[in-house]
Chains A and B, each alone.
Chain A
């Protein structure tokens, strides 16, 4: 691990000024991603700014039924918080299906949004990777790509976004609250992540020195009736091969509003507004769900080992929708 200077800060503004003034500085919260990547020399900050003393831990109700989650709330706290369990079950489920209890006790919500890909070539400094070392090439496209992305890819990068929570929050219109050297701003989570294009090293719109303060979840009928389904190679403690976060508001037998996002298949949490449009106004039936699933994967570009993800993701989405539709009303 490269040597770094460590400092602890007690005010968000100080943290932002410290990091924005040092190109090689990084914030650290839980550290479950950063320390891991520093140990294998994929992340090499010269300065690490500990933000755990900042007052960003609360989970509070917002007027109108939404919830604001402080960036330093731990995954385990959010997963079992009554406001999340009741108002945003897909978020709670996604968190409980993430990582392990020990990691969830340590990892923060803001850090979870910033977790890096698990692409094996990104983690191996002996091999080319455009995300880690721009211009060096992509080892994954012609390599071991079974777990890698089929949506949002480019000829430079097919690394999968590893998140579960971010998929559920992308489906449910989460808003990221950010503080930077030039002030505060908010970004919709679906716009927070960017596809790799020709710059796979850039994963979010967050500028250097900008700090996530909180995530807002707006209340909605399709949020209160939402579900997260994760398919993986072993029963627990594993990243998604495919996953689906869905929300449905069904009145009578007609779908009034729908939310769909896919995980394990995209270079970013993959919200499909096309699939949502194929659901709204239609009967909540198997045929509707299958049609929406086909639309959700229509832009998929598989590589040598991961074409199976297209039907698997479609079935994951159909099953998640069926689970919700079969759940009453």
Chain B
């Protein structure tokens, strides 16, 4: 279908070898990047670099600090021990680092998604000491010594968690961006004892928004796992 639609679009004529504007590489002025030391990070990925550059750029736009503030120099890094999916990590972090960014940018666990980054969507739902929270509003330094479970920790190797399998069976997603948070909450809703009726499941899943509107499939998946009693 999509191919047919595209085939009706007029051909764009470009001189030989010239790429259309939207495919041309972005050329920016070369400048020395800030030296970024991130112990605990396996490598400085492009994603990490973009995140850091954006943060620095935003900091420069801040209004002048009040007189009594002498400096906004980067704060001292703090040591944090975090057990994630059973494995303990010793991290050195800027205190501003959210648990969500720690998981995604420092530990490479990108299954937990960053969407609203303000506690409004639930895509970043993880468990801290077994309790579901929004990782975007958690400062990692405040969870020193605690245990975190992410979507990557739910499956047993290649064997999917029953909730993951049910989401596939019931089409509990479309674009997939909210899905890991939905699955984390789905497991919690049953464990918390809030999966009695459809209305109760909907209410206790309401902290996880799905922009694609896959709520019917999500509800069916939670009910199936509840009824299977696993």
Q: Decide: A36 near B119, CB < 8 A? Known: A2-B62, A24-B69.
A: yes
Partner of A31, one of B72, B94, B138: B138
**Chain B contacts with A in 152-205, Cβ cutoff 8 A:** 185, 188-189, 192, 194, 202-204
Q: Decide: A106 near B138, CB < 8 A? Known: A5-B75, A6-B95.
A: yes
Stretch of B38-46, B82-90, B127-135 contacting A (4+ beta carbons < 8 Å): B127-135
Across-interface contacts of B63 in A (CB, < 8 A): 125
B107 lies within 8 A of chain A by Cβ: no
Partner of B142, one of A4, A38, A41, A50: A50
Q: How far is the CB of B161 from chain A (nearest CB, A)?
A: 19
Q: Contact between A41 and B62 (Cβ–Cβ < 8 Å)?
A: yes
A205 lies within 8 A of chain B by Cβ: no
Across-interface contacts of A103 in B (CB, < 8 A): 119, 133-134, 137, 207
A6 vs B77: C-alpha distance in the bound complex, in angstroms?
10
Partner of B206, one of A3, A24, A100, A105: A100
Q: How far is the CB of A231 from chain B (nearest CB, A)?
A: 16
Across-interface contacts of A237 in B (CB, < 8 A): 206-207, 209
Which residues of A does B touch, CB under 8 Å? 1-6, 23-24, 28, 31-32, 35-36, 38-41, 46, 48, 50, 52, 99-103, 105-106, 125, 235-237
Partner of B95, one of A4, A101, A236: A4
Q: How far is the CB of B39 from chain A (nearest CB, A)?
A: 18
Q: How far is the CB of A325 from chain B (nearest CB, A)?
A: 25
A35 vs B206: C-alpha distance in the bound complex, in angstroms?
22
Q: Decide: A105 near B131, CB < 8 A? Known: A4-B95, A35-B139.
A: yes
Q: How far is the CB of B67 from chain A (nearest CB, A)?
A: 12
Across-interface contacts of A23 in B (CB, < 8 A): 68
A235 vs B205: C-alpha distance in the bound complex, in angstroms?
12
Q: Contact between B69 and A101 (Cβ–Cβ < 8 Å)?
A: no
Across-interface contacts of B125 in A (CB, < 8 A): 102
Across-interface contacts of B139 in A (CB, < 8 A): 6, 28, 31, 35, 48
Q: Contact between A101 and B134 (Cβ–Cβ < 8 Å)?
A: no
Q: Decide: A4 near B75, CB < 8 A? Known: A32-B119, A39-B118.
A: yes
Report the 3 A-B pairs with minimum CB-CB distance, sorted nearest first. A100-B207, A236-B206, A6-B95
A101 vs B127: C-alpha distance in the bound complex, in angstroms?
12
Across-interface contacts of B209 in A (CB, < 8 A): 237
Partner of A105, one of B68, B133, B142: B133
Across-interface contacts of B62 in A (CB, < 8 A): 2, 41
Residue of A nearest to B95 (CB): A6
Q: Contact between A102 and B134 (Cβ–Cβ < 8 Å)?
A: yes
Which residues of B does A touch, CB under 8 Å? 55, 59, 62-63, 68-69, 72-76, 78, 94-96, 98, 117-119, 122, 125, 131-134, 137-139, 141-142, 185, 188-189, 192, 194, 202-204, 206-209
Given A106-B138, A237-B207, 10 extra CB contacts under 8 A:
A3-B96, A5-B95, A36-B118, A39-B118, A40-B118, A46-B69, A48-B139, A102-B119, A103-B207, A105-B131
Across-interface contacts of A235 in B (CB, < 8 A): 202-203, 206
A294 vs B55: C-alpha distance in the bound complex, in angstroms?
51
Across-interface contacts of A39 in B (CB, < 8 A): 117-118
Across-interface contacts of B138 in A (CB, < 8 A): 31, 35, 106
Residue of A nearest to B71 (CB): A3
Across-interface contacts of B188 in A (CB, < 8 A): 101
Across-interface contacts of B131 in A (CB, < 8 A): 105
Q: Decide: A2 near B207, CB < 8 A? Known: A100-B122, A103-B134.
A: no
A23 vs B59: C-alpha distance in the bound complex, in angstroms?
22
A253 vs B206: C-alpha distance in the bound complex, in angstroms?
39
Across-interface contacts of B55 in A (CB, < 8 A): 1
Q: Contact between B137 and A35 (Cβ–Cβ < 8 Å)?
A: yes
Residue of A nearest to B188 (CB): A101
Residue of B nearest to A23 (CB): B68
Across-interface contacts of A50 in B (CB, < 8 A): 141-142
Across-interface contacts of A105 in B (CB, < 8 A): 131-133
A4 vs B142: C-alpha distance in the bound complex, in angstroms?
14
A143 vs B175: C-alpha distance in the bound complex, in angstroms?
36
Q: How far is the CB of A129 from chain B (nearest CB, A)?
A: 14
Q: How far is the CB of A120 from chain B (nearest CB, A)?
A: 13
Partner of B78, one of A6, A35, A100, A101: A6
Tell me which of A32, A35, A125 has the highest count of chain B C-beta atoms within 10 A of its own C-beta: A35
Q: Decide: A3 near B75, CB < 8 A? Known: A32-B137, A101-B207.
A: yes
Partner of A3, one of B74, B132, B137, B202: B74
Q: How far is the CB of A235 from chain B (nearest CB, A)?
A: 8
Q: Contact between B134 and A106 (Cβ–Cβ < 8 Å)?
A: yes
Across-interface contacts of B132 in A (CB, < 8 A): 101-102, 105
Q: How far is the CB of B145 from chain A (nearest CB, A)?
A: 11
Residue of B nearest to A74 (CB): B131
A39 vs B78: C-alpha distance in the bound complex, in angstroms?
19
Tell me which of A3, A101, A103, A237 has the highest count of chain B C-beta atoms within 10 A of its own C-beta: A101
Across-interface contacts of A236 in B (CB, < 8 A): 202-203, 206
